[in-house]
């Protein structure tokens, strides 16, 4: 039993106790107390019960959100399956596009990105037509103390393709006390940065 299930179980126990209190013991309490507004107390118990039910419903919603869902492979450079490696033996790099009809069926994605000896896992939600900017995203990853790769991606509006739009490889030169220089490269070299794998998690 996970933590959410435990909380839900405790919530149900509290609801049962409240029901018992309102239907069995309140008569005894009222008989012993003077000037007690039974209606007000019953309403308060009813309100509290409703709040607990709403809380329980919210826990269910959270549980559904946290459920990772079924995982599928959109792209994997190390796979021997051509439907997964898509011919990108050196990784998914700039100026290339991956097409997969299952993209629209996923609620989010994990991009496994590498640059030099550095790797990152980036989680990206499925874009929404209500937020046009969500179709574009970028990520930066350091390759060395003075080098950073910036990668830019775009989902197709039809949600059936992901384009690796561009990558800029930036080297900071110079030293303390001098004006630093920045060199830009539009790079498609695997050593500068690429995507190793993309996983999708179904809705």
Query: What is the number of other CB atoms lying within 10 angstroms of the CB of residue 34?
Result: 5
| CA triple 117-121-122, angle to 5 deg | 130
Instruction: Kindly report the number of other CB atoms within 10 A of residue 191's CB atom.
Output: 14
Task: Give per-10-residue mean pLDDT for the chain (203 aa).
Answer: 64 68 56 59 70 68 64 95 92 94 94 89 93 94 79 96 91 67 67 90 89
For the entire predicted model, the pTM comes to 0.64
Distance of CA 88 to the CA centre of its chain: 26
Give 186-199 pLDDT, tens digit per residue: 667 767 789 999 99
Q: C-alpha distances in angstroms, 119 versus 30, 34, 184?
A: 67, 71, 21
Residue-level pLDDT at 177:
62
Distance CA 74, CA 151 (A): 18
Beta-carbon neighbour count of residue 100 at 10 Å?
21
**The pLDDT of residue 1:** 53
pLDDT of 57 reads 67
């Amino acid at each position: 039993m996970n933590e959410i299930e435990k909380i839900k179980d405790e919530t149900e126990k509290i609801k049962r106790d409240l029901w018992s209190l309102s239907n069995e013991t309140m008569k005894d309490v009222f008989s012993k107390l003077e000037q007690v507004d039974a209606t007000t107390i019953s309403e308060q118990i009813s309100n509290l019960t409703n709040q607990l039910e709403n809380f329980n419903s919210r826990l269910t919603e959270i549980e559904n959100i946290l459920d990772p869902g079924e995982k599928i492979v959109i792209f994997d450079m190390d796979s021997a399956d051509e439907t997964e490696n898509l011919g990108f033996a050196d990784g998914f790099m700039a100026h290339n596009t991956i097409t997969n009809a299952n993209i629209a069926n996923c609620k989010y994605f994990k991009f496994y990105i590498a640059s030099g000896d550095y790797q990152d896992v980036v989680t990206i939600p499925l874009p929404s037509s209500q937020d046009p900017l969500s179709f574009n995203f970028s990520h930066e990853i350091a390759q060395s103390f003075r080098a950073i790769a910036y990668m830019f991606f775009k989902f197709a509006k039809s949600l059936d393709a992901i384009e690796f739009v561009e990558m800029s490889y930036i080297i900071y030169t110079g030293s303390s006390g001098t004006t630093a220089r920045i060199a830009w490269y539009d790079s498609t070299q695997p050593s500068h940065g690429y995507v190793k794998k993309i996983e999708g998690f179904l809705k």
